[in-house]
């Protein structure tokens, strides 16, 4: 690391900011923190921590040009933080927004603080808590010469291959936003796989299945690994010890960034059906459709006399209504049909 870049200010010492601070100290980077509450573990590592109303003290501990990583929730708090820094920091200081801010906001913020002589980088940060603690993935937007000032520290805190200068202001948060959309799609497909495994006719050990899938299969990944470890209730990379799978609430919360991505896709007429549907599934998990299914039931009752709510007779008809309802594998055993083709399609003798 360059000798003139051995200090880092971190504003916001939550899950990501706090873990980055720990990693930085262990990499011999002098860290100065700012947070609204005490962080004994960080203070024990020698990190001075100042309250949010002590900007002058915070800045006085950092030599210029200062490099400051802001890790606060997206929204007005980012603007408030930048405003405080703009009033007190020195020309040439670099401020990095490491949160999940909207990329258009990042373009505006870069222009705003540039008027005060400060530099701005939008730093999309991925890798979760383990990444922040042991080596993160950074997607950076901003001017090349500004990136070069912060690059030594970001390179030290990133996993190998995990640092990219994506382009001008806004590019880092845009790439991170698309990343989050891809993440949602992957999560949804894995979740639907779990649904299929649980609904099937076999008594499967989900933990063993996911361990198997993560051992050389095409879909091996960190997410599949986390699913296996969560089922096993192994805390290797979990924030807290997970509850038994069946006790986890069937509700998914999120902070809304991927909603922005879907809106951008609509504006640009870019089809993203998987990502869009993954967002809809999160909405459904929260029970937000309180009236839609009632409306469907009302109309079905009107045109067909269909029942309201669960009905044993309808259930029986759904299960037994098709006379030829054998599984394809059974058909294959009975009359030589292919188990992977519709039953009304003949099997080529040559196959």
Please, what's the b/e burial string for 286-310 (b: 16 or more CB within 10 A of its CB; e: otherwise)?
eeeeeeeeeeeeeeeeeeeeeeeee
Which of 137, 157, 136 is CA-nearest to residue 27?
Answer: 157
45 is catalytic: no
Which of 127, 124, 99 is CA-nearest to residue 226?
Answer: 127
| Rounded (10°) angle between helices 171-199 and 222-232 | 50
Cross-strand bridge partners of residue 7: 30
Segment holding 264, helix H or strand E? helix 257-267
Q: Is residue 116 within 8 Å of residue 86, measured between CB atoms? A: yes
Q: How many CA atoms lie within 13 A of 297 on its CB side?
A: 10
Q: Which of 143, 183, 232, 234 is catalytic?
A: 183
* Distance in angstroms (rounded) separating the CA atoms of residues 325 and 330: 10
Residues sharing a CB contact under 8 Å with residue 251, sequence separation 6 or more, in sequence order: 285, 286, 287
Q: Which of 176, 229, 257, 264 is catalytic?
A: 176
* Distance in angstroms (rounded) separating the CA atoms of residues 25 and 301: 66
176 is catalytic: yes
Q: Which two tokens stand for residue 203?
A: 């008594």
In the DSSP assignment, the letter for residue 250 is S
* Distance in angstroms (rounded) separating the CA atoms of residues 348 and 310: 44
Segment holding 282, helix H or strand E? helix 273-285
**Active-site amino acid positions:** 176, 183
């Amino acid at each position: 690391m360059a000798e003139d870049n051995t200090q880092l200010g971190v504003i916001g010492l939550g899950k990501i900011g706090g873990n980055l601070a720990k990693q930085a100290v262990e990499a011999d980077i002098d860290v100065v923190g700012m947070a609204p509450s005490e962080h004994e573990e960080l203070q024990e590592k020698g990190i001075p921590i100042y309250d949010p109303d002590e900007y002058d003290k915070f800045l006085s501990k950092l030599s210029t040009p200062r490099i400051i990583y802001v890790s606060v929730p997206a929204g007005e708090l980012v603007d408030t933080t930048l405003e405080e820094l703009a009033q007190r920091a020195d020309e040439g200081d670099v401020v990095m927004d490491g949160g999940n801010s909207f990329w258009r906001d990042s373009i505006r913020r870069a222009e705003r603080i540039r008027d005060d002589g400060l530099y701005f980088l939008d730093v999309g940060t991925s890798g979760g808590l383990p990444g922040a603690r042991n080596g993160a993935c950074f997607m950076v937007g901003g001017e090349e010469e500004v990136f070069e000032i912060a690059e030594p520290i970001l390179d030290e805190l990133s996993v190998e291959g995990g640092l990219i200068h994506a382009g001008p202001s806004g590019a880092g948060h845009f790439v991170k936003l698309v990343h989050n959309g891809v993440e949602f799609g992957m999560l949804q497909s894995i979740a639907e796989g779990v649904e299929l495994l649980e609904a099937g006719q076999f008594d499967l050990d989900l933990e063993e299945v996911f361990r198997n899938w993560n051992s050389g299969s095409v879909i091996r990944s960190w997410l599949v690994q986390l699913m296996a470890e969560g089922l096993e209730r192994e805390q290797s990379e979990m924030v807290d010890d997970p509850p038994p799978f069946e006790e986890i609430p069937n509700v998914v919360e999120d902070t809304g960034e991927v909603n922005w991505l879907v809106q951008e896709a609509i504006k640009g007429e870019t089809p993203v059906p998987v990502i869009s549907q993954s967002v809809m599934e999160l909405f459904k998990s929260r029970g937000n459709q309180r009236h839609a299914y009632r409306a469907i039931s009302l109309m079905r009752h009107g045109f067909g006399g269909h029942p309201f709510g669960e009905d044993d007779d309808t259930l029986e008809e759904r299960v037994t209504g098709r006379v030829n309802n054998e599984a394809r594998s059974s058909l294959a055993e009975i009359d030589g049909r292919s188990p992977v083709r519709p039953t009304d399609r003949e099997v080529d003798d040559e196959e």
